[in-house]
Amino acid sequence: MYAVIQTGGKQYRAEPGQVLWVEKLPGDAGDPITFEQVLLVAAGGGADVTVGTPTVTGAKVIAKIVEQGLGEKLVVFKFRRRKNYVRRTGHRQELTAVKIESIVAFG
């Protein structure tokens, strides 16, 4: 069984027992979290698929926060030739690791 959830403006395929890195969510390690925006639920190895319009009514994914962390560093480099203009900055996105506990298909 798997589900497609939406959080932080992105969509993720979630299966029970899987650890996902998603955009930063409030909470500490060990806190439970529920994803209400479930776009698709597939059971039976993909044979029974329920697609939401836009979300599946009554479906939710229950997870637990594993840790809070930072993503890989991205280097932003701006350059204009012959203008003596060079700018170099970096960015590390804040992320949250969540472990999917269960998928509740309906209610």
pTM for this one? 0.84
Q: Which domain holds residue 32?
A: 2-104
Residues contacting residue 79 through CB under 8 Å, at least 6 positions apart: 85, 86, 87
The tens-digit pLDDT sequence of the chain (107 residues) is 999 999 999 999 999 999 999 999 999 999 999 999 999 999 877 778 889 889 999 999 999 999 999 999 999 999 999 999 999 999 999 999 999 999 998 75
Query: Tokens representing 76?
Result: 């932003």
**Gap between the terminal Cα atoms of the chain:** 16
How many structural domains comprise the chain? 1
- Dihedrals phi, psi of 47, to nearest 5 degrees: -75, -35
